[in-house]
Structure formats: C-alpha cells, structure tokens
Amino acid sequence: MNEAQQDKYLQAKKLVDEEQWQDASEILEELVTEVDDSEVGRLTIIALYHTQQFTRACTYLFEYLEVMFDDFTDAQIAISILVQNELFVLARQVISSLSQWQDELLSLVVAGEEKSRQEYQETLQARLRGFYHLGDYSLTEQQSRLQAAFKLPLNEFITGSKFLLRDPYTHPLVKSSLVELLCKLQVNDPVTIYWLDKTEYTVIPADLLPLNGLPIVAEGKRLISIKCGNQNPQTERLANQEFQLQVMFLYPRVEQTIVDIDEWINILIGRIEGKTIEEKSDTAKWQSRLGEQIDELMEKH
C-alpha cells in the first residue's frame, strides 16, 4: 500500500472498530479494488455483511474465502453470507473442509435451508425442475444448471443428483463433478451411476477420495513427467491435459479402469506423438474411446 492507501486503510479500520459499517464499507470497497491485501478483503466482507449487502459481500468472499476461517466470528459471517445468497451446497462444502466449528456452522445452513423451504417453495420447486431436466441440454448449459442447483437445500440436491446420475443424457463430466461434490459433502447415501460402459454402478460418495486425491492420478502425472523429461515440454503439457480429462471422464471408476498406469501413460504419449496404436488391450480400447469423447468435447468448446 502507498501512503494514501495506508491512510484510507487506517480510516476504515477506525470506522470498523466504531461499528460505523456503512462509511467503512464505502472506503473499503474503493480500497479493495486498488490493493490485493487479505486484511482489506476481510474487513470489506465484514463491513458489507453488517450493512446487509450480502450479494456484494459474496463477490469478495469468493476471492478472500480462506482468510475468513481463522476466527470463529469471521467464519460465522462467511457462512451466513453464503446462506443469505442461498448457496447452501457451497456452504456445506466449505464447512466439510474445516477441521473445527463444523456443527456450529452447519446449524446456520440448516436454518437457512428450512427458511427457503417455507418461504420460497415455488422458487425452490422451479430450481429443482431445472436441475432434473439438466440432461436435455448442451454441456455448457448442464454445467450452468449444476451451478444454479447449489441454491438447493442438501436433501433436494441429493435427490436431483441421484436422478441425474442414472440419466443417460447427463454428460459424463457433469456426472463425475456431481459424484465428486457428493464425496466432498461426505454424503453417506448410496448413489447409482449410469457409467461410460452403459452399466450401472453403486457407490457411497463419502467412501470415495476426490479425483485429485487419488494416488493413481498423482502417479500418472509423475510418469508423464519422467517419460517426457525436459526433452519434450510440449508433449508433456498435452499429455497432462489429456490425462486430466481422461480421469475426469472416468471418475469415480478411475482405479477400476486404469489397471496398469505405466501402460496407460505409454499409450497416451504414443497417441499424442501420432503413433498408430493397435486396440488389442483394454487400455488401448479405453484410450481410443476416451480420445473420441475428448476430441468431440474440444470441437464443441
């Protein structure tokens, strides 16, 4: 911060200490666009919360989320802002990642969900219908509707997710995102997914690891780095991109599909280098199949 910005900060800090929230928020909103400072971000969020400018507070909260969980009072404000914006699923995801205060913060979300059910029943039903019909649309629209579904209470979100995971028209990337989100929310209800091989599989999300927490994913990236080395950074970059998309398509059945990670990475690099791959092994067949889906994805987006 330069001297003028430092003066603004000290003025705003004094106003916050005096609980003059409106005046403080005006100075802080101006300052937060000038400097990238976590304490300025934190105070801006708090001041906007106290002036009930919840939508604006949420914008800064997404940017400075981490700094709001060093203190319980700040954590309550952060979760309350998400609840006021009806981002119940996101609020629960944040809470599930914390090592403390989970029960106390969860009660804020539960109260918000109940209020939403009682006071905004028609809106809630419209959101749920939009979520249920997600499979009727393009991938971009499906992803947009998934984001909109974050405003559903958890039980309704799980109900809609269970339906979509069995719908053949829900895009595989949306299905994997749904399962991973249910995993992060520690959902213990079994869910059935109609998967890439046109077979249904039942999983318990809470028993899964998130995609990038899977050891096989880390091992795949390590092997790409070793096999490409410094000689071919372009191949390494493309292989990493393709591998990440492959495992996103495969989740939650990554480990069941990639039975030999060394062979998988060898074939992946070979495909990127333009080598002819004979589809004799299951690995080669899966690589070909995923390659077609990824190519189609890239053409459309």
Contact between 60 and 36 under an 8 Å Cβ cutoff? The reply is no
Report yes or no on 99 lying in a domain: no
Residues 223 and 241 in one domain: yes
Residues 38 and 68 in one domain: yes
Q: What's the domain count of the chain?
A: 3
0.85 exceeded by pTM? yes
Range of the domain at 185: 122-208
Q: Tell me what percent of the residues of the chain surpass a pLDDT of 70.
A: 100
Report yes or no on 200 lying in a domain: yes
The pLDDT of residue 301 is: 61
CATH number at residue 34: 1.25.40
Residues 204 and 218 in one domain: no
Which of 208, 224, 252 is the last residue in one of the domains?
208
160-201 per-position pLDDT tens digit: 999 999 999 999 999 999 999 999 999 999 999 999 999 999
Q: 102-119 vs 72-84: helix axis angle to the nearest 10?
A: 20
Residues 129 and 144 in one domain: yes
Report yes or no on 198 lying in a domain: yes
Residues 138 and 189 in one domain: yes
Report yes or no on 107 lying in a domain: no
Q: CA-to-CA distance for 59 and 52, rounded, in angstroms?
A: 13
Report yes or no on 169 lying in a domain: yes
Phi-psi category of 275—alpha, beta or left, where left has phi over 0 and alpha has psi -120 to 50? beta
